[in-house]
Amino acid sequence: MSVVTRAAVEAALSQYIDPHLNQDPVSAGCLREVDIQGGKVRVRLQLGYAAGLFKSGWAQMLQMALENLDGVDSAQVQVDCVIEAHKAQTQVPALANVKNVIAVASGKGGVGKSTTAANLALALMREGAKVGILDADIYGPSQGIMFGIAEGTRPEIRDQKWFVPLKAHGVEVMSMAFLTDENTPVVWRGPMVSGALIQLITQTAWDDLDYLVVDMPPGTGDIQLTLAQKVPVAGAVIVTTPQDLALLDAKKGVEMFRKVNIPVLGVVENMAVHICSNCGHAEHLFGEGGGEKLAAQFDVDLLASLPLSMAIRMQSDGGKPTTIADPQSQIAMIYQEIARNVGARIARGELQAQAMPSIVVSED
């Protein structure tokens, strides 16, 4: 009977690639413990991202690989998810009670950015993470509606200083909409908007979050710059449609985050294709392959291409986004994959943005 060695165990594990890390668990540094007692093998892995819906299947696959080794009678594989704090801008202080901040942005409005942010937050929650979402679109907040929070609901105030975020579907939610009249527009200049954003982020009593998803307003203006300068953002997700006009603005969004030293985690392409509900005909109403071209041009990942779907719109308007309204649907599974990939890219540590060169002005 063959003697089981640690080298043999590691070699067997190395044959399998984690699809989110794009590495085998040994090379990725996920292997934490190997215990060999004769023909019994016990292995413990630690993932640095939320993967509650993935880890059991992953553990079962690796267990079968180990049990196929000569000399192994039984194998046990334990997979844990431990999320650490990461941030891109080293000069920005950490945010109290928040490990990782994810900005969801777009160059222009109407591309499904807020829908993507809501479903990303809910998908991360379903993977086992503690998640909050901040609606940073001061002029046009929409997360209250998407999370089914009744109009006129106000956050509690703690110690006359802290806003206590509302909780919906297991996610902590904070929005300017909770502090103003829904029918009254916010007519503020840039500095006032930036000040309101900082107050919302720093004076909200977040409860030890693994991830805070920030739904950004469209564009590349004051709020985006304020976020980059004052908040330790771990990475940004860019949302676009295949339409040429949307892609043009999305490119500016990618460049903006790179200029402020925030890594772009990937691109989400919405409204990629429309499937006729009557005949099943597929039609690319807004063009084809735009998100893929954008991702290739800037050497970032295309996280997903989502269809133009009436269900997504109806579920978001009804206060229950797709991820929880129909969690077994194909679209919900796409959002779960986005969430795992976003978390893995933050954890990987390979996405540190290029540091901007120093500018030296000489008197010559």
Q: Torsions phi, psi of 332, nearest 5?
A: -60, -40
* Whole-angstrom distance, CA of residue 221 vs CA of residue 197: 13
Q: For 38-65, b where at least 16 C-beta lie within 10 A, e where not — what string?
A: ebebbbebebbbbbbbbbeebbeebbeb
Q: What's the whole-number average pLDDT of the chain? A: 84
Q: What is the pLDDT of residue 286?
A: 54
Task: Kindly report, residue by residue over 226-257, the tens digit of the pLDDT.
Answer: 887 888 999 999 988 876 666 777 777 788 88
For 226, the 3-state DSSP assignment is helix
| Average pLDDT value for residue range 61-75 | 94
The predicted pLDDT at position 270 comes to 84
Output b/e per residue, 195-228; b: 16+ Cβ within 10 A: ebbeebbeebbbeebbbbbbbbbbbbebbbebbb
- The angle subtended at Cα 224 by Cα 220 and Cα 230, nearest 5°, is 155
Report the alpha-carbon angle 130-340-265, nearest 5.
100
- What amino acid occupies position 170? G
Q: For residues 61 and 49, give the distance between their C-alpha atoms in angstroms, rounded to a whole number.
A: 19
Residue written as tokens 């194998």? 75
Assigned fold of 98-348:
Rossmann fold (3.40.50)
How high is the pLDDT of residue 280? 61
Q: How far apart are CA 155 and CA 44, in angstroms?
A: 42
CA distance 310 to 187: 32
- Write down the domain spans for the chain: 6-81, 98-348
- What distance in Å separates the CA atoms of residue 112 and residue 308, rounded to the nearest whole number? 10
Q: pLDDT above 90 covers what percent of the chain?
A: 49
d(CA 211, CA 264): 16
CA atoms within 13 A on the CB side of 87: 19
The DSSP 8-state label assigned to residue 308 in this structure reads B
Give the per-residue pLDDT at 309: 79
pLDDT of residue 93: 81
Beta strand spans in the chain (E)? 31-37, 40-47, 74-81, 98-105, 131-135, 156-158, 162-164, 166-168, 171-175, 209-215, 233-240, 264-269, 274-275, 282-283, 302-305
Whether the pTM exceeds 0.85: the reply is: yes
| Architecture of the domain defined by 6-81 | 2-Layer Sandwich (3.30)
Q: What is the pLDDT of residues 143-184, one digit of tens each?
A: 989 999 988 888 999 988 899 999 999 999 998 888 776 666
How confident is the model over 323-336, as pLDDT tens digits? 999 999 999 999 99
CA distance 241 to 7: 48
Nearest to 1 by CA among 73, 76, 77: 73
Closest CA to 133 of 223, 201, 193: 201
